Structure 1
């Protein structure tokens, strides 16, 4: 009689909050933008997720968690960075 070992399905870790957007950074990494609540406080999270050896995406240590009130300043900074990186607006 042959014994068969059943492996539990590997699932991605549960993320905190609701995913709002996902941006493919490269073939092995994605940026995930989430909104959620922790200990009664609202937050916005931006984190790099990477492909693990199991083929699933896992959160890395690279990321930032912000209060929603800081989003206008972040967006302004990103617009300035975009203009500095491409001053002619060709991209």
Structure 2
């Protein structure tokens, strides 16, 4: 697994974008990782895995959400 980005969510959680191959299929994960006792991080069930082909459409949607806001 290759860590692409680690983005703080709060004091005990972070978003991680990772890339890996599963059974020959490339995947990109966006997942919440949480701090365990002792300070190490572990992946939670909160997140998604997607094929890299989906990224351009997802990035475009996120950019629209950023400019249009939530109102």
**Superposition TM-score, scaled by structure 1 size:** 0.72
Q: Structure 1: how far apart are the matches of 2:2 and 2:62?
A: 22
Q: Structure 1: how far apart are the matches of 2:28 and 2:42?
A: 18
The CA RMSD over aligned residues, in Å, is 1.5
Larger helix percent: 2
The structure having more radius of gyration, on CA atoms, is 1
Q: Structure 2: how far apart are the matches of 1:42 and 1:59?
A: 19
Structure 2 unaligned spans of 5+: none
User: Where does structure 1 differ by over 6 angstroms across 4 or more consecutive aligned residues?
Assistant: none
Larger strand percent: 2
Kindly indicate whether structure 1 or structure 2 has the higher relative contact order, using CA contacts under 8 Å at least 6 residues apart. 2
**Superposition TM-score, scaled by structure 2 size:** 0.91
